[in-house]
Structure 1
Amino acid sequence: MARESFDKEIQFLRMLVLTSGAYNRQQFAKRLGISVHTFDKTIRKLKEIASASGNGNQSPEEPNKKFAGALRLNYYDSADPLLLFLFRAKSLKESESLRLALLLAALHEKPQTALELLGVCCNAPDAADRALFPDEKTIRSDLRYLEEVGVIKRVPGPRPYRYRMQDDLVRQLTDEELRDLMNFVDVMANTQVPSVQGYLLRDHLKRSSGSGCVSGVGGVSDAGEPFLYKYHYYSRILDEAHLFMLLGAIQNRRKVSFLYFSPKSDTSYASKNTNPLFEREHEGRTEQALPIKVVYDHQYGRWYMLANNSRDGIRKYRLEGMTQIEEGEAVAKELFEEKRSELEARIKHSWLIDTGRAVTVRVRFFHPGGSEPNFVRDRVLLQGQWGQIVEEEDGAFIYEIMVNGTMEIRPWLRSFGSSCEVLAPAMLRREMIEEWKELASYYESV
């Protein structure tokens, strides 16, 4: 799958799950910045990927079910992350995914050389229909790729080199140890970010447990699912497609260039049209910046890149609006550290990433019921970051914190409901009063 295609399908899926199929084909294509023909073609491609991954996104009894309908239905029917299937096909053409599957199946049986694997591909039953027939150079390139990602390893010995599956860990574990490892990976993948790598590892362990890689009979597949999870922001895993590339750019002090669509933009994607007759204006901005930090907002399930832009200084970008990302030139270590220090100073008092003017927020928290344990106090101490309890009252306490602006702390304060009263600043207090009046009006008798 080409990089541009992967960007398109990420934005396509994000809009599909966020709108829950509310748009018709024309509206969807216009919002995404593509043609209706491209919309239909992308739907077909996603159906093929979902079917090939065995994710169950399309019911075999209803092969003609609309893909949007399948997404809307299966979100509540399945505990698996729905959008993960796209990562299994990332950067792979159809012929590549079929060829790699053949290579891995052959290496799972016994160690083999590149020439032996070439024979496996050419002698496959459906090789003629797929016009597979790779050459030796292609097979060696595939083996290098699989070795780099740690799927296979070279067997020590003279030429020609032999390769085997790198599954020593799984083979050495007992059934009970493998079950414990799977449960640990399951918990971490579903409760920590980033999660995609953990999901892929979990799937690999499940396949290993059911394929006789471990001692005993039955493996772990009969143990059932001890944990089930459900996310409020399940589309956030789409942003992880760019996450590790950006973390690599930060580690190597490299600039990145990308086409950016702000959250206020009417479109979220722009295709690269090679035919000048079909060129169209897009609302995205071409940006070049030095990434310094990546931040995850658990309140809204969003990833942010904090970067230095030579034109505007410190800039914040939502990962969901970044497309066509490319690495650029590296910068000197001294310059990178200077920009990092500048950023850290700007966000020192940020509840999340706000770089506005610092204000002191003063809040009275009430303890409902007056009994122990004081869960309101415990939560404030746990989540209140660098804020402090400055005064104790009968059935309440005063909490103070200095933050950059009040926008980011408001959802946290609002989540305490009637157990929280904002005392200062006066503007924040007025805003909270207006919000609660609006909420109260929703519950007036009709």
Structure 2
Amino acid sequence: MAKESFDKEIQFLRMLSLAGGAYSRQQFADRLGISVHTYDKTLRNLKEMVTVLQQNLPVEQGAELSEWLRYNYYESADPLLLFLFRAKSLKETESLRLTRLLTALQSEELTAKELHDRCCEQTPDDSLLPDEKTIRGDLKYLEEVGVILRVNEKRPYRYKAANDLIDQLSGDELLDLYDYVDVIANTQIPSVQGYLLRDTLKKALRNRGYPPEATETHRYKYNYHSRILDEAHLYTIFGAIQQRRRIRFLYLSPKKGMNYTSKNTNPLFERESAGVTDSILPLRVVYDHQYGRWYLIGHHARMGIKKFRMEGLTQMEEGEPVEEAEYAARLQQLDKQMENSWVTDTNRTVKVAVRFYNPVRSGANFIRERVEAQGQWGVITEESEAAFLYEITVNEIYEIKPWLRSFGSSCEILEPRWLRKQFIAEWKEIRSYYESL
């Protein structure tokens, strides 16, 4: 799949999952910045992807796109937003060929020539037969990603599926591993690898005869499912960081309400792009757990340190490399500016002093435990059995403010005074909503 197409599908699925059926076709297309014709074409492409991914699956494991779009409270992120990772960059012929290779290697060790013969036997008469060079390229790719193993050191090389871990586990051990992966995939970041591993374990349990109910003993609500789509950019960004390369992209600010802009090749339909084409040297990727947002932070040639919300990045490409000395200097500059960042802020520092009140007549002091777990480098000073003092110096207060507000009446702002006044005004406004009752 082309990079631009993948960007479009990311934004398409994000809006579809968040808005559901709230928009008409025209409204949906307007929000994405595409035509209704492109909207229909994208929907057809998604349906075709589903068809390819369902090849050779049992009936009970297959699914129509309409079923995947149906909202399920506990499965909102899987598989609708996840299947794009399985489909990315795979043509139908590649998907079928890799499936045949992996199926053949499940039960025996085979050489590249033997696998080529197997693929040719299973390829329909009206389809193009793969050559041995293509099969060797597929095997090299599958070996690099850890799906298969080379079992000998001399030619001809023999390969087998990398199922040793799963095969050596008993049924109870496999269930325990599945439950653990299920929890971690829904609570840790990043989550895509966890979901893919969970699917593999689920298939292994079904192959051993376990009913579907065995994997549904626990249910989780995945709160920030759109972050799964943002993970698509991580591999390109981390690769650029490792190679000390700049990256180029089109940035669509989330504040402007435009989620996508097409690359128009037809001169009759050319229009000015709503986004901004930019180039930076990527230095850091930061995840804000409070809002479920990924941020890319890098050095801009003209504006210095610059931050971008990951969900606004499209059409990303690697650029030219930089010298190691330049990269180290930029990274040192960023680390200095972010030394007191609650998340990503690099503005002036502010000292914040807060009094937290311990819960009354409660066996567990969940206020203290939460401050200790989430308060980062802040300092706690004991005041009395009823309260304790928390002090921290941060870059601005905009990022720490929602965290402080979330404690409600258990938190009293002491410094700075202007922040205390802001909180007083906010709580008065909230109180006014309830006065009539």
TM-score, length-normalised on structure 2? 0.90
Residues 335-414 of structure 1 mapped to structure 2, 5 A cutoff: 335-390=326-381, 392-393=383-384, 395-414=386-405
8 A Cα contact 1:266 1:283, kept in partner: no
Match of 1:16 in 2: 16
1:101 to 93, 99, 102: 99
State the shift of 1:192 in Å: 1.0
Match of 1:44 in 2: 44
State the shift of 1:330 in Å: 2.4
TM-score, length-normalised on structure 1? 0.89
8 A Cα contact 1:122 1:132, kept in partner: no
Distance 1:77 1:363 in 2: 39
Q: Which moved more, 1:230-239 or 1:144-153?
A: 144-153
Deviations 1:278-324 (A, max 9, x none): 22221211111111111111100001111111111111111111112
Distance 1:180 1:74 in 2: 25
Match of 1:121 in 2: 119
Deviations 1:148-182 (A, max 9, x none): 21212334265443332122222223323323322
Q: Which moved more, 1:386-395 or 1:248-257?
A: 386-395
Match of 1:268 in 2: 259
2:432 is the alignment partner of 1:445: no
2:229 aligned partner, one-letter code: L
Distance 2:44 2:361 in 1: 59
1:229 aligned partner, one-letter code: Y
Deviations 1:172-210 (A, max 9, x none): 233233233223322222221011111111211222333
**In structure 2, the residue corresponding to 1:403 is in which secondary structure?**
strand
1:187 aligned partner, one-letter code: V
State the shift of 1:113 in Å: 3.2
Match of 2:170 in 1: 174
Match of 2:286 in 1: 295
Distance 2:405 2:194 in 1: 33
State the shift of 1:358 in Å: 0.6
State the shift of 1:78 in Å: 6.4
Distance 2:309 2:224 in 1: 15
CA RMSD across the alignment: 2.8
**In structure 1, the residue corresponding to 2:398 is in which secondary structure?**
coil
Match of 1:304 in 2: 295
- Seen in structure 2, the aligned counterparts of structure 1 residues 132 and 179 have a Cα distance that, compared at 3 Å, is farther
Identity %: 59
State the shift of 1:81 in Å: 5.4
Q: Which runs of 5+ in 2 are unaligned?
A: none
Match of 1:317 in 2: 308
2:289 is the alignment partner of 1:329: no
Q: Which moved more, 1:375-384 or 1:131-140?
A: 131-140
8 A Cα contact 2:54 2:63, kept in partner: no
Q: How many residues align?
A: 434
Match of 2:220 in 1: 229
1:418 to 384, 398, 409: 409
8 A Cα contact 2:74 2:220, kept in partner: no
Residues 155-304 of structure 1 mapped to structure 2, 5 A cutoff: 155-156=151-152, 159-212=155-208, 218=209, 223-304=214-295
Deviations 1:21-52 (A, max 9, x none): 32211121122122111111211222343455
Q: Which moved more, 1:89-98 or 1:219-228?
A: 219-228
**In structure 1, the residue corresponding to 2:256 is in which secondary structure?**
coil
2:144 is the alignment partner of 1:148: yes
Q: Which moved more, 1:287-296 or 1:369-378?
A: 369-378
Distance 1:133 1:211 in 2: 30
- Seen in structure 2, the aligned counterparts of structure 1 residues 44 and 75 have a Cα distance that, compared at 3 Å, is farther
- Seen in structure 2, the aligned counterparts of structure 1 residues 64 and 323 have a Cα distance that, compared at 3 Å, is closer
**In structure 1, the residue corresponding to 2:5 is in which secondary structure?**
helix
- Seen in structure 2, the aligned counterparts of structure 1 residues 224 and 61 have a Cα distance that, compared at 3 Å, is closer
Distance 2:85 2:114 in 1: 29
State the shift of 1:435 in Å: 2.3
Match of 1:215 in 2: none
State the shift of 1:255 in Å: 1.5
Match of 2:31 in 1: 31
**In structure 1, the residue corresponding to 2:182 is in which secondary structure?**
helix
Distance 2:62 2:306 in 1: 49
Distance 2:238 2:350 in 1: 32
1:32 aligned partner, one-letter code: L
**In structure 1, the residue corresponding to 2:221 is in which secondary structure?**
coil
